[in-house]
Amino acid sequence: MAHGQEYSGQWVALNGEELLSHGLDARSVRDEARAKGVQTPLMVHIPDEPGLPSAFWV
The least CB distance from residue 56 to other proteins, in Å, is: 6
Site residues for other proteins, 22-41, by CB under 8 A, read 26-27, 30, 39-41
Up-side HSE of residue 40: CA atoms within 13 Å toward CB? 0
DSSP lists the bridge partners of residue 14 as 19, 42
Applying CB under 8 A, does 3 fall inside the site for other proteins?
no
Applying CB under 8 A, does 56 fall inside the site for other proteins?
yes
- Distance from first CA to last CA of the chain, Å, rounded? 20
Which residues are near other proteins by CB under 8 A? 11, 26-27, 30, 39-45, 47, 53-58
